[in-house]
Structure 1
Amino acid sequence: MEKVDPITISGVTEIRKKKLVGFRVVCEDMAGYGQVIPKASMVLDRRKGEIKNLVEPVKLIGAFKAAETCEEDDGYWVCYEVESFEDIPDGMASLTVPEETYAVLHFRGHASEIYSVYEHLHQWIEENGYNRSPEKWTLEIYSKWTETEDRLDLCDPIH
């Protein structure tokens, strides 16, 4: 059986503006996010039927800013993309992420490994003459997420 590389850099791409609906998670420290985000993802999956105008109900999207910018942007957003905002369900929030240029890494593995995988992406960005834009939204776009394996694109904003 052919072995699949768990990390593949796909290069630079423009990602259009995204309207997101889901949960905003704010923790005191990084360790807390590792516990709270998976739980929020599962609750969101169970409640996705409440969200109107879903674009792709199988693609969970995480959004965060790597640099502290302002209090209302703090935290991690666990969301689904929508065509338009309409009747946001109780306890959920909306977020608009503007169009941006991203360096993208495809990752296949467990979500608990994601933090260390970013090092590969950051190294690629530097080696290819780009600069990170940590004050802009970073996206984690999941095409598959389960207890044992996740498949996602890590999208780090660059200039």
Structure 2
Amino acid sequence: MAIQVIEKEEMNVVGISWNGTFSQMEKIPSLFTKLRGRLEEVPYQKQEEVLIAPFHIRETEITYYVTTPVDVIDEIPDGMVGFTIPRKNYVFGVHKGRIEDVENTYHRMYKWMEEYGYDQDHHALSLEIYKEEHKSQNLSGDLYFEIYLPVKVYEK
């Protein structure tokens, strides 16, 4: 896995949210199914065939969103949320493999950040991006998705 720092432009997204404890994270995959079933309700969708999953981790819980990119946040369907993800620098990596190995991918990225002097910006959202081209692969359990960890200014 090649890890690097990249800048992502501001993004508008609309989707669904979930908040729970780490022991409840098995509920997250169903959020993707739920949003896919409601995508036609979301106006102003971009032509990109991706689902963007921003999330915040706190000491005892996680807030996880499954969203689609939109041109403008104007009409938000009932039960959904819409927000702007600001332009930001991220440490970027890709997870390929089993769901049981996702934690290892994150640990490798955290270790890389430490080695190269990057501090995670815990006030910003981390992102997972799931591209449509990998949908059937992901549904089979052989996951493929991009990970973006927000970073503070480079200090080394």
TM-score tier after normalising by the smaller chain length: 0.7 to 0.9
Q: CA deviation at 1:134?
A: 1.6
CA distance in 1, matches of 2:90, 2:63: 20
Identity %: 25
AA aligned opposite 1:148: G
DSSP-derived class of the 1:103 partner: strand
Aligned to 1:20: 13
Secondary structure of 2:35 counterpart: helix
Specify every segment of 5 or more residues in structure 2 that has no aligned partner in the other structure, as ranges.
none
CA contact 2:3–2:109 (8 Å) conserved in 1:
no
Q: How far apart are 1:66 and its partner, in Å?
A: 3.0
Scaled by the length of structure 1, the TM-score of the pair is: 0.83
Q: Size of the alignment, in residue pairs? A: 145
Q: 1:30 aligns with which of 15, 22, 31?
A: 22
Q: Could you tell me how far 1:91 is from its partner in structure 2? A: 1.1
**Cα offset for 1:9?**
2.5
Deviations 1:56-96 (A, max 9, x none): 4531111112347xxxxx61111111111132112111121
- Out of 55, 58, 61, the position equivalent to 2:46 is 55
Q: What RMSD, in angstroms, separates the aligned Cα atoms of the two structures? A: 1.7
Aligned position for 1:5: none
Give the alignment's TM-score, normalised by structure 2: 0.84
Contact residue 142 and residue 150 of structure 1 kept, 8 A? no
Contact kept, 8 Å, 2:73 with 2:83, in 1: the verdict is no
Structure 1 residues not aligned, in runs of 5+: 1-7, 69-73
